[in-house]
Structure 1
Amino acid sequence: MKDDTEQQLQAKSITFHPSYKATTFENDLALIELLEGPMLNDYVMPICLPEGPPQEGTMVLVSGWGKQIQNRIPESLMEIEVPIVNHEACQKAYAKINLKVTSDMICAGERDGGKDACGGDSGGPMVTRSEEQSPWYLVGTVSWGDGCGKKDRYGVYSSIHENQAWIQKVTGVQN
């Protein structure tokens, strides 16, 4: 169902991260160059690249069209707010099941579970807003996890900060 805020845009090109590893999801990023830019309005606005890595406890907003409870696909864009998790705590949680959280990944969620990105959300944005300023910052993109919202299984996201040099090289955009 289309609404009056929807825009259909065509891709001119897609650039995959040259160091992407499918077995570990390292460098799980791609950039899409649009044929024409979107019309900016109250629903579509630019986003800034981060000035640094997000700090533990920072609240981030994750959005997507992924599965919900009982594998239902939502009728509208969904969003959740979750905290950034300490990198070592996330590494320990996944080491228990022999999965590796690398330095180019960020984890977010609650230890008790319940809030998480899910299948179909991959590539979606993880954003935060500066307390001092009004811009939104893209800090990550949905990458992988173990199930959806499981206890002691945080969502894992590709870090925009850790991949920023590549993003700026491909786009020519500086902060």
Structure 2
Amino acid sequence: MNRYQELRNNNDVALLLLQEPVGVADGLVPICLPVDGSNFDGKEAIVTGWGTTESGELSEHLQQLTVPILTNQQCRKSGYFRFQITAKMLCAGYLEGGRDSCQGDSGGPLQLAKGEAGQQQIVGVVSWGNECAQRNYPGVYARVTRFVSWIRSHSRGACWCTNG
């Protein structure tokens, strides 16, 4: 069972059950789940969202940013306290600050290319951070590989990308 732990921001994922199927426009494909237990440390990923920009306003256009995925050890040595970053989280961003996801991006994907066919896999879900783009405080995401089994068990009958 996935129970959100508010004091620790742990298990910050949710699934929505829709009454009607969602159509997918031509040229678009659903995002894939990663293989359970995969490690993406050191890879470059893309975070997208309509969250707050430098002006303090929500964006009218979808924004995207490429960010490096840090190891949890690197993240625990940043400005966060050691105990704040759990195994169900991952950090991505620039320790020098200046670029990051922000308020309004929460729940959005941190995605990574999967193979050469243009498919993307979701490796993180925007969760929390210390304000936005602050030096020594990368963005913190729910680590999707820790929830793959839970997602699959609660979405039976869904279509899945093939692994490979």
If the length of structure 2 is used for normalisation, what is the TM-score? 0.87
Distance in 1 of aligned mates of 2:63 and 2:155: 28
Higher relative contact order (CA 8 A, sep 6+): 2
Distance in 1 of aligned mates of 2:40 and 2:141: 14
CA RMSD in angstroms comes to 2.0
Q: 2:78 aligns with which of 93, 100, 106?
A: 93
Contact 1:50 1:137 in 2 (8 A): yes
Q: 1:28 aligns with which of 3, 7, 12?
A: 12
Distance in 2 of aligned mates of 1:22 and 1:94: 20
2:141 corresponds to = 157
Q: Which runs of 5+ in 1 are unaligned?
A: 1-16
Contact 2:111 2:121 in 1 (8 A): yes
Asked if residue 75 in structure 1 is aligned to residue 65 in structure 2, the reply is: no
Instruction: Please state whether the residue corresponding to 2:66 is helix, strand or coil.
Output: strand
Q: 1:56 aligns with which of 41, 52, 55?
A: 41
Q: CA deviation at 1:41?
A: 2.3
In structure 2, do the counterparts of structure 1 residues 56 and 18 end up closer, same or farther at CA, with 3 Å as the change threshold?
closer
Q: CA deviation at 1:43?
A: 5.9
Distance in 1 of aligned mates of 2:89 and 2:38: 11
Q: CA deviation at 1:99?
A: 6.0
Q: How does 1:34-53 map to 2 (within 5 A)?
A: 34-42=18-26, 44-51=28-35, 52-53=37-38
Instruction: Please state whether the residue corresponding to 1:69 is helix, strand or coil.
Output: coil
1:171 corresponds to = 155
Contact 1:105 1:159 in 2 (8 A): yes
Contact 1:53 1:139 in 2 (8 A): no
Distance in 1 of aligned mates of 2:27 and 2:105: 19
Q: CA deviation at 1:132?
A: 4.2
1:12 corresponds to = none
Q: Which runs of 5+ in 2 are unaligned?
A: none
1:8 corresponds to = none
